[in-house]
Amino acid sequence: MKSKLFLWSSVLTGVLSSAWVLMLTALVIRCKLSGQPFPVLAKFSPFHTHLVVTDRMLQLSPVLALLALVLVGIAWWWERRFEPVRPVVLAVGISVLVSSLAIALNPGGYLSWFIS
């Protein structure tokens, strides 16, 4: 039972570590659909609260990813075999990969726009 708690906690923290990508996408879409000219810098966006929450999630992303990996390790140690942990490792790995690719590839230049 304890291993299930660690497994689901690691999935949740892994998904939360890449949630900033979806939040940034939503911010860009909101700015484009607002009817106003697209802001030159993200800080001039009319959606200040959305901007702040996205910034906090981006800052917490590495901490959440490390926490997810620690929780997977604890669940793996608790189970003493890899088969029950494999789907969770894949889910956490994919979510961390999505976040890393968004930073590395900077699609559309929107990450640079956001960080400026």
The DSSP symbol for 85 reads T
Classified as helix, coil or strand, 50 is helix
Over residues 53-72, mean pLDDT? 91
Does 25 or 83 have the greater pLDDT score? 25
Query: How many CB atoms lie under 10 A from the CB of residue 76?
Result: 20
pLDDT of residue 1: 64
pLDDT at 35 over 70: yes
Q: Is 2 in contact with 60 (CB distance < 8 Å)?
A: no
**pTM here?**
0.86
